[in-house]
C-alpha cells in the first residue's frame, strides 16, 4: 500500500469522499503543455485520456482569448454583445442548417438537463429512451436517465418513465456482429410502441453516437438511422449528446451524429468546447425553441458570458487553423491499425474499436470466451502510467481502456503508446 502524502491527506480532509483519485499512486500534476503533463518532480506524461483539453493543454491562443476578453469585459447575457453573436454564428455554421438556436450553459450536465426540459416541453411527455450503460451527467434529472449510475452502486434503479434499450454492443452485447443494428432497433421499437399504447405518449431519445462511459461502444450500422426515423415518426424528439464525441474528434466527421447519417432535433455540447473552461451549449431548431418560450424565461448567470464565448470561438478557430480534425483522422487511423495489429499478438485484447481519436481497447480473459478481465485492466493502466502514459478504463465491467487524447496527439505519440502497451502486456 502506497504511503499517502500530505496533499492527499488534505484532499481527503477537505474534499468530498465520493470523488476518487486516478491511479494506485496518485500524481500531483503541476504543468500542462499540448499533449503532455508534468508532475511535481518534473516527470513528463503523455496524456492519452484528456478529451476536455481538446486543442492541447494551455494552448496559447485559448489563454490569449481568455486574457484579452477578461481585461475588456465580462458580464451576463442581458446586454447586447457581439462576442456571443459571433460565436453562436460560427458554432451553428458547423451544424446542419436546421440547428441554429443556441442556449448557453456551463457544463455537459447542465446542457443535458436543459435539453430534456426543452424536449419534454415540446412533446408534452417525460417518457425517455436511453441506451443501457449510458452516462449523461451528474444532475438529479440525469442520474435518472443514466443506467451507468442508476444501475450501479448507490443507484436507485430505473425510474418508470425511463426505458433502456440493451447496450448496442456488437462485440459482447445481447446481439453480436456487424449486422446486429436491426435487432437493437427492434428493442427500441418495442419500447416506443408499448409507451404509446400504455400512455399515449411519444418519447425523447437521448444517446451518444459512440458511447463513452459505456466503454467506447460504436452502435452497429442502421441502429441510429432506423431509431431516429421511428422516434420522429411517432412524434418524439432525438437528442444527440455530443459532450464527448463532438468537435472533430471522430476524424471523418465533425459531429458524432454524422457518423450515423442522422440529424438530431437537439444537440448538447460540452467538455472540449471550451478546452477546459466551463462552457457548454444546447442547440436546437426555431420551432422547438419557440415552443420552449412559454412564459418561463431561461436565464443563466454565467452561461454565454463574453469570456466563455471568446474562448469557445478561439477553440473553433484553432481546430480549423491547426487542422485538428484531419489530424484526428490520420493519427486515429494509424493508432487503431497499430492496436489491431497488437491484438493479433495478445489474446487479452478482445476488441479494438472507435473512430478518430476516440478509441477503445476491450480486454477479455481470452478471445473465444469474452469474459471481461477487470484486475488486469487496472494493472495495465497503472503500469502504463509508470511508463509515462496516462489512460483510464470504463464500461460496465471496467475492462475497456479508453484512448481520447488532446487532438494534437501525433504519430510518434501513437507509436510510443502501442510499443509501451506491447511491452507491458509481454511482461504480464
Smallest distance, ligand PMP to C-beta of residue 244, A: 5
Task: Please list the residues that pair with 282 across neighbouring strands.
Answer: 103, 268
The interface with ligand PMP within residues 174-213 (CB under 6 A) comprises: 208, 212-213
Of residues 50 and 227, the one with the C-beta less far from ligand PMP: 50
d(CA 228, CA 233): 8
Q: Report in angstroms how near the CB of residue 94 gets to ligand PMP at its nearest.
A: 19
Nearest distance in Å: CB 206, ligand PMP: 9
Of 29-37, 148-156, 237-245, 304-312, the segment contacting ligand PMP by CB under 6 A is 237-245
Is 108 a residue that touches ligand PMP (CB under 6 A)? yes
Distance, CA of 274 to CA of 399 (rounded, Å): 29
| Residue nearest ligand PMP, Cβ-based | 108
Closer by beta carbon to ligand PMP, 11 or else 138? 138
The three cell numbers locating residue 103:
442556449
Distance in Å, CB of 19 to ligand PMP, minimum: 12
Beta pairing partners, 280: 105
Asked whether the beta carbons of 115 and 137 are under 8 A apart, the reply is: no
Nearer to ligand PMP, 107 or 308 (CB): 107
- Closest by CA position to 247, among listed 239, 257, 255, 237: 255
Closest distance between ligand PMP and the C-beta of residue 387, in Å? 26
281 alpha-carbon distance from chain centroid = 14
List, as one string, the DSSP characters of 51-104: -SSTT-BT-HHHHHHHHHHHHH----TTS--HHHHHHHHHHHTTS-TT--EEEE
Distance CA 284, CA 119 (A): 10
| Beta strand pairing call for 36-39 and 29-33 | antiparallel
In the complex, minimum distance from the CB of residue 193 to ligand PMP, in angstroms, rounded to a whole number: 27
Query: Counting contacts by CB under 6 A, is residue 243 touching ligand PMP?
Result: yes
Q: How far is the CB of 213 from ligand PMP (least distance, A)?
A: 6
DSSP string, 348-362: TEEEEEEETTEEEEE
Q: Would you say 50 or 180 has its CB closer to ligand PMP?
A: 50
What is d(CA 105, CA 212) in angstroms, rounded to the nearest whole number? 21
Of 132-140, 179-187, 324-332, 397-405, the segment contacting ligand PMP by CB under 6 A is: 132-140
270 binds ligand PMP (CB under 6 A): yes
Selection from 405, 391, 258, 259 nearest residue 331 by Cα: 405
C-alpha cell at 419: 510499443
Q: How many residues bind ligand PMP (CB under 6 A)?
A: 16
Whether 164 and 144 have beta carbons less than 8 Å apart is answered as: no
Give the nearer residue to ligand PMP in terms of CB position, either 136 or 277.
Answer: 136
Q: If you ran DSSP here, which 8-state letter would residue 41 be given?
A: T
Q: Is 79 exposed, middle or buried (0-12, 13-18, 19+ CB in 10 A)?
A: exposed
- Kindly write out the interface string for residues 392-421 of this chain, putting x where it contacts ligand PMP by CB under 6 A and - elsewhere: ------------------------------
Pick from 136, 277, 353, 404 the residue near ligand PMP by CB under 6 A. 136
Could you tell me whether strands 280-284 and 358-363 are parallel, antiparallel, or unpaired per DSSP bridges? unpaired
- For residue 61 the three cell numbers come to 491562443
Region binding ligand PMP by CB under 6 A among candidate stretches 134-142, 155-163, 320-328, 332-340: 134-142
From the list 105-113, 174-182, 353-361, 392-400, the region that binds ligand PMP by CB under 6 A is 105-113
Q: Which is nearer to ligand PMP, 77 or 280 (CB)?
A: 280
Closest CB 35 distance from ligand PMP, rounded Å: 20
CB 108 within 8 A of CB 137: yes
Q: What is the DSSP letter of 30?
A: E
- The grid cell for 374 is 477487470
Task: Please pick, from the candidates 109, 170, 253, 308, the single residue that binds ligand PMP as defined by CB under 6 A.
Answer: 109
Which residue bears the cell 442548417? 97
Q: DSSP letters of 129-160?
A: EEETT----SSHHHHTT-HHHHTSTT-----T
Q: Counting contacts by CB under 6 A, is residue 53 touching ligand PMP? A: no
Tell which one of 35, 51, 77, 112 touches ligand PMP (CB under 6 A): 112
Choice between 224 and 414, CB closer to ligand PMP: 224
Q: For residues 127 and 208, which CB has a smaller minimum distance to ligand PMP in the complex?
A: 208
241 alpha-carbon distance from chain centroid? 8
Question: In the bound complex, what is the minimum distance in angstroms from residue 145's beta carbon to ligand PMP?
Answer: 11
Residues that bind ligand PMP (CB under 6 A): 107-109, 112, 135-138, 208, 212-213, 241, 243-244, 270-271
Amino acid at each position: 500500500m502506497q504511503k499517502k502524502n500530505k496533499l492527499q491527506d488534505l484532499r481527503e480532509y477537505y474534499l468530498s469522499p465520493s470523488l476518487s483519485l486516478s491511479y494506485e499512486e496518485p500524481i500531483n500534476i503541476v504543468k500542462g503543455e499540448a499533449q503532455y503533463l508534468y508532475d511535481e518532480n518534473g516527470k513528463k506524461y503523455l496524456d492519452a485520456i484528456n478529451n476536455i483539453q481538446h486543442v492541447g493543454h494551455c494552448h496559447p491562443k485559448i489563454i490569449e482569448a481568455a486574457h484579452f476578453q477578461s481585461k475588456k469585459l465580462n458580464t451576463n447575457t442581458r446586454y447586447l454583445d457581439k462576442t456571443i453573436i459571433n460565436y453562436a454564428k460560427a458554432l451553428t455554421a458547423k451544424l446542419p442548417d436546421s440547428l441554429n438556436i443556441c442556449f448557453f450553459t456551463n457544463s455537459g450536465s447542465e446542457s443535458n438537463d436543459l435539453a430534456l426540459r426543452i424536449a419534454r416541453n415540446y412533446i408534452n411527455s417525460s417518457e425517455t429512451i436511453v441506451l443501457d450503460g449510458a452516462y449523461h451527467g451528474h444532475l438529479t434529472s440525469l442520474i435518472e436517465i443514466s443506467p451507468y449510475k442508476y444501475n450501479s452502486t448507490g443507484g436507485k434503479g430505473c425510474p418508470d418513465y425511463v426505458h433502456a434499450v440493451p447496450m448496442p454492443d456488437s462485440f459482447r452485447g445481447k446481439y453480436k456482429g456487424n449486422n446486429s443494428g436491426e435487432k437493437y432497433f427492434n428493442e427500441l421499437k418495442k419500447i416506443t410502441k408499448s409507451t404509446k399504447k400504455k400512455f399515449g405518449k411519444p418519447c425523447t431519445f437521448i444517446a451518444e453516437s459512440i458511447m463513452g462511459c459505456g466503454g467506447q461502444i460504436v452502435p452497429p450500422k442502421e441502429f441510429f438511422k432506423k431509431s431516429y426515423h421511428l422516434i420522429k415518426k411517432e412524434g418524439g424528439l432525438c437528442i444527440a449528446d455530443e459532450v464527448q464525441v463532438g468537435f472533430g474528434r471522430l476524424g471523418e466527421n465533425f459531429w458524432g451524429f454524422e457518423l450515423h447519417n442522422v440529424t438530431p432535433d437537439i444537440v448538447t455540447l460540452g467538455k472540449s468546447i471550451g478546452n477546459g473552461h466551463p462552457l457548454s451549449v444546447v442547440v436546437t431548431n426555431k420551432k422547438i425553441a419557440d415552443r420552449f418560450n412559454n412564459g418561463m424565461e431561461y436565464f443563466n448567470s454565467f452561461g454565454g458570458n463574453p469570456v466563455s464565448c471568446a474562448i469557445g470561438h478561439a477553440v473553433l478557430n484553432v481546430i480549423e487553423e491547426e487542422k485538428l480534425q484531419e489530424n484526428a483522422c490520420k493519427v486515429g487511423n494509424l493508432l487503431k491499425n497499430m492496436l489491431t495489429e497488437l491484438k493479433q499478438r495478445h489474446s487479452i485484447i478482445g476488441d479494438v474499436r472507435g473512430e478518430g481519436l476516440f478509441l477503445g481497447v476491450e480486454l477479455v480473459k481470452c478471445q473465444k470466451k469474452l469474459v471481461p478481465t477487470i484486475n488486469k485492466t487496472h494493472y495495465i493502466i497503472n503500469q502504463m502510467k509508470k511508463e509515462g502514459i496516462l489512460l483510464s478504463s470504463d464500461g460496465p465491467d471496467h475492462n475497456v481502456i479508453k484512448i481520447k487524447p488532446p487532438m494534437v496527439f501525433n504519430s510518434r505519440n501513437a507509436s510510443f503508446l502501442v510499443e509501451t502497451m506491447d511491452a507491458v502486456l509481454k511482461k504480464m
